[in-house]
């Protein structure tokens, strides 16, 4: 009798072994790392091979630049120059933390990282395990969110395992991400601070003077800010009227609500972002809940905006992109 062999790639190991993570990164392998925002798909930012692997595994277009992660700004003083005073002040306040700043790069930063731009995005995560990892490395890590390009960002090791587990060896387990939204990205232009992506630091907390210029495919300054991003596979509608739902079977509609379930849909299809109306809790749950609904084999996900202040502004921006109605 002929035996059948099914060749499958082993899944990634999940654990907290920093030495193994360092060993893999030094060999230009990729490791998924926890941060307070979302999990990142990390590789040596100064190695062409490792950076190429990031783009391949994520199926990310080369025009979309990567953020460089380090444990302190001092550690990369040969990679960036001319840090504007306004950014220094905000960096002191929010780094380490969920803030990314764009700085003029030196020639040591590969063009592949910045998609040809003369500015590189710098982030210092506050997550203790990744802080330790970065402190022990003598190179910075390039790390986009550890999801296939365009899909919802991962906030737990299992999210990374499901989507990229066959393509990477190790997922460093730092538990559930505390913030749950990607970092806020800012840059300084003509002495003004501009927000390019709303995220884990609320826009209001950056000062009264900041300007917001979110980017999309039609305005690709931060090219990852495409209109349809963070998108589940199932279509998403924000705040539909009941008549918009005529053609749907209500049993097959998933509902993502801010505080309270809706009486008109099956309760088992509904997820709540924060029963107490806490925007931090809502941010922490947003991506995990969207994923869970996406995996429930439904025809439609309906959702609603949350209050549009603090982290609520970033949550609403992600909802718009998930529904591609920017």
Give the CA angle between residues 321, 324, 326 to the nearest 5°: 70
Residue 41's contacts (CB-CB under 8 Å, 6 or more residues apart) are 30, 32, 54, 57, 58, 143, 144, 145, 146, 160, 164, 168
Adjacent-strand bridge partners of 141 = 44, 69
**β-pairing verdict for 13-15 and 99-105:** unpaired
Shortest Cβ 63–ligand TXA spacing (Å)? 9
184 lies in the binding site for ligand TXA (CB under 6 A):
no
Q: Does 188 contact ligand TXA by CB under 6 A?
A: no
Please report how close the Cβ of residue 77 comes to ligand TXA at its closest, in angstroms.
18
Residue 288, interface with ligand TXA (CB under 6 A)? no
Return the residues of window 123-182 that contact Mg ion according to CB under 5 A: 145
282 C-beta neighbours (distance < 10 Å), count: 23
Nearer residue to ligand TXA within complex by CB, 221 or 227:
221
183 binds Mg ion (CB under 5 A): no
Site string for ligand TXA, 46-75 (x = CB under 6 A): ------------------xxxx--------
Whether omega for the bond prior to residue 96 falls within 30 degrees of 0, making it cis, is yes
Is 148 near ligand TXA (CB under 6 A)? no
Residue 121 binding partner per list ligand TXA, Mg ion, none, with a CB distance cut-off of 5 to 8 Å that depends on partner kind: ligand TXA
Cβ(259)–Cβ(305) under 8 Å?
Answer: no
Neighbours of 53 (CB within 10 A): 19
* Interface with ligand TXA, residue 38, by CB under 6 A: yes
- Nearest approach in angstroms of CB 96 to ligand TXA is 11
Instruction: Please report, as residue ranges, which positions from 85 to 144 form the binding site for ligand TXA (by CB under 6 A).
Output: 100, 102, 114, 117, 119-121, 123, 143-144
> How many residues belong to the site for ligand TXA (CB under 6 A)?
28
d(CA 280, CA 54): 30
Q: Is 227 in the site for ligand TXA (CB under 6 A)?
A: no
- Between CA 82 and CA 54 the distance in angstroms is 28
Report if residue 70 touches Mg ion, rule: CB under 5 A. no
Does 225 interact with ligand TXA (rule: CB under 6 A)?
Answer: yes
Residue 326 interacts, among ligand TXA, Mg ion, none and using kind-specific CB cut-offs from 5 to 8 Å, with: none
What strands lie across the sheet with 236-238, from one edge to the other?
236-238, 300-303, 253-257, 270-272
Site for Mg ion in 78-117 (CB under 5 A): none
The radius of gyration of the chain from alpha carbons, rounded to an integer in Å, stands at 20
Among 12, 24, 31, 40, binds ligand TXA (CB under 6 A): 40
**Which of 125/254 has CB closer to ligand TXA?**
125
CB-based burial label for 156 (10 Å; 0-12, 13-18, 19+): buried
CB of 283 to ligand TXA, least distance (A): 12
Bridge partners, residue 195, by sequence: 186, 212
User: Footprint of Mg ion on this chain (CB under 5 A)?
Assistant: 145
User: Footprint of ligand TXA on this chain (CB under 6 A)?
Assistant: 35, 37-38, 40, 64-67, 100, 102, 114, 117, 119-121, 123, 143-145, 182-183, 185, 197, 221-225
């Amino acid at each position: 009798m002929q035996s059948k062999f099914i060749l499958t790639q082993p899944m990634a190991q999940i654990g907290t072994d920093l030495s193994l993570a360092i060993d893999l990164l030094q060999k230009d392998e990729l490791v998924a790392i926890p941060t307070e925002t979302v999990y990142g798909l990390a590789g040596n930012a100064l190695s062409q091979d490792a950076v190429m692997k990031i783009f391949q595994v994520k199926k990310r277009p080369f025009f979309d630049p990567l953020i460089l992660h380090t444990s302190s700004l001092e550690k990369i003083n040969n990679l960036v120059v001319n840090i504007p005073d306004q950014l220094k002040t905000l960096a002191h306040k929010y780094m380490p933390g969920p803030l990314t700043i764009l700085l003029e790069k030196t020639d040591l930063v590969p063009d592949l990282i910045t998609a040809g731009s003369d500015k590189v995005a710098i982030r210092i995560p506050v997550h203790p395990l990744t802080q330790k990892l970065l402190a022990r490395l003598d190179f910075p890590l390039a790390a986009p969110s550890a999801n296939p390009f365009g899909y919802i960002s991962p906030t737990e090791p299992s999210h990374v395992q499901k989507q990229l587990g066959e393509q990477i060896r190790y997922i460093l387990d730092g538990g559930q991400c505390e913030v749950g939204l990607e970092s806020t990205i800012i840059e300084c232009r003509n002495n003004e601070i501009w927000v390019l992506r709303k995220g884990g630091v609320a826009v209001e907390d950056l000062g009264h003077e900041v300007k917001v210029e979110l980017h999309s495919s039609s305005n690709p300054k931060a090219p990852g800010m495409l209109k349809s991003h963070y998108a589940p596979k199932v279509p998403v509608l924000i705040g539909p009227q009941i008549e918009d739902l005529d053609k749907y079977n209500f049993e097959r509609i998933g509902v993502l609500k801010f505080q309270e379930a809706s009486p008109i849909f099956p309760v088992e299809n509904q997820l709540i972002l924060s029963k107490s109306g806490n925007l931090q809790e809502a941010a922490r749950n947003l991506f995990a809940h969207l994923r869970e609904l996406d995996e429930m084999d439904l025809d439609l996900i309906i959702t609603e905006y949350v209050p549009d202040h603090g982290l609520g502004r970033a949550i609403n921006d992600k909802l718009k992109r998930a529904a591609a109605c920017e």
